[in-house]
Each structure stands twice: as C-alpha cells, then as structure tokens.
C-alpha cells in the first residue's frame, strides 16, 4: 500500500515522496455488466492515480457486487478505490475511501466512521464556502466543476478555473471535473488542479488506452 492511501484526518493525502497526489482520477462508467466493467477498467487502470467507483444506474446490490469485483483489481495495481456516494459501502468492503456530494450524507460523520486513514472527497462544485466547510469536516481532497460542458451529469453547475486559484490556500489536493479532455486539461492544471477526474473522456474514447495515456502525460 502506498502512502497516498494514508492521509491524516482532514489533511492532504500524500505519495511516497510526501507530495500531494497528481494525475488521472478515473471514474467508472454506468456499466451494469460487472464482467465488462472489470475488463474496461483493467485496460486503463495502470494510467490512473485513483479510481472512483460510480454507477448511477445500479441498485445497492449491484453496487456492492461491482465494488467487490473492483477491489482486488485495484489492490493488484496499487490504485486506491474510492466509492462514490456511499461511505458505508466503502467502510463495509474496506475500500480506501469515499466521495460525497452535497446530498450524500455528512462529511464529518463519514470521517469518523471511516477513520483517519481513509481518502474522503467532497464535491464543492463552484462554491468556496462549501470547500471551506469540507476542510473543517475532515475532507482529504476537494472536487470542483464542471469546468467544461459534460455529458456525464445534467444540470451541473459551472466553475471557472480561477476558482482553483482562490481555493489553493485551503491546502488540500484539488480535483477538476466536468468535460475535461487531453486538449483542455492543461487549463485546469495550470490553475491549480492536482488531479483531473474523467469518465467519458477515457471510457467513451475510440481508444481508451491511448486516451488514458494522454491524460497522464499532462502530469
């Protein structure tokens, strides 16, 4: 297990050199076929810094099955697995962390339940106040966006790259999400993003491996 899976409570997770994590934060597509999901992830996992399991089409039973299927894959690749929306599932199955949006429960309660070693992310959208609250509640990283038009989530809020500059003083790794491509990733990285979160940019690409490689090359 590398050091990026052992953040202190409310502090930035760090890699083995003591630096914040950098790179591609890969998010799974809404795939109901578990075997196909595993194969799709397997092909590109080696390019990811973190993997988030997210499936808005799955019920609770399928989410558990798919998380269980992805865990050994991630462990073998030494890539932390972070569960979207459901910190209880992450705790029960021993995933490395959870990511919570504004309707997914209390961050402080999640931190207390998951312990100091968990990676705990918070969606902050375009809201500096929410980011400051998340830091106080024990978040490990802050996610902002959408920065560009995205097909993955309808009705999402829009964030400007300058928001990343404004939140740099909070001292946590920052994740940029929303319509990020290899062509525009440099905009948010230059503004302060430590990781870029991607779903369709990799999984819907004509060549997912080439796409994942292109994202990683930006770092």
The rounded distance, in Å, linking the Cα atoms of 82 and 13 is: 13
Radius of gyration for the chain, computed over Cα atoms and rounded to the nearest angstrom: 16
Of 9, 88, 153, 157, the catalytic one is: 153
Q: Both tokens of residue 170?
A: 């909070």
Which residues, other chains included, contact 122 with Cβ-Cβ below 8 Å and sequence gap of 6+?
A: 99, 100, 107, 130, 131, 134, 137, 139, 141, 142, 143
Told to judge if 140 belongs to the known catalytic residues of this protein, a careful annotator would answer no
Catalytic option among 123, 140, 152, 216: 123
CA–CA–CA angle 219, 47, 69 (5° rounding): 145
6 part of the active site:
no
**Could you give the CA distance from residue 124 to residue 128 in angstroms, rounded to a whole number?**
7
Q: Which of 22, 54, 63, 111 is catalytic?
A: 54
Is 78 an active-site residue? no
Query: Do 109 and 99 contact (CB within 8 A), yes or no?
Result: no
Quote the distance between the C-alpha of residue 141 and its chain's center.
Answer: 9
Q: Which residues are catalytic?
A: 54, 123, 153
């Amino acid at each position: 297990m590398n050091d990026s899976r052992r953040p202190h409570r409310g502090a930035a997770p760090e890699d083995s050199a003591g630096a914040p994590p950098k790179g591609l934060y890969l998010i799974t597509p809404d795939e109901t076929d578990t075997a196909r999901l595993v194969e799709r992830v397997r092909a590109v996992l080696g390019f990811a810094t973190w993997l988030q399991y997210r499936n808005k089409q799955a019920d609770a039973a399928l989410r558990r099955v798919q998380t269980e299927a992805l865990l050994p894959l991630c462990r073998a690749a030494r890539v932390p697995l972070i569960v979207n929306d459901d910190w209880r599932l992450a705790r029960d199955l021993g995933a490395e962390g959870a990511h919570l949006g504004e309707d997914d429960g209390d961050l402080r309660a999640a931190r207390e339940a998951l312990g100091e070693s968990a990676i705990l992310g918070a969606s902050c959208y375009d809201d500096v106040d929410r980011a400051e609250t998340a830091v106080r509640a024990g978040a490990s990283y802050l996610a902002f966006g959408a920065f560009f038009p995205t097909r993955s989530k309808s009705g999402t809020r829009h964030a400007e790259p300058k928001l990343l500059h404004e939140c740099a003083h909070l001292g946590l790794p920052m994740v940029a999400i929303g319509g990020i491509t290899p062509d525009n990733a440099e905009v948010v990285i230059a503004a302060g993003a430590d990781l870029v979160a991607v779903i369709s940019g990799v999984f819907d690409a004509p060549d997912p491996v080439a796409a994942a490689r292109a994202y990683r090359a930006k770092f």
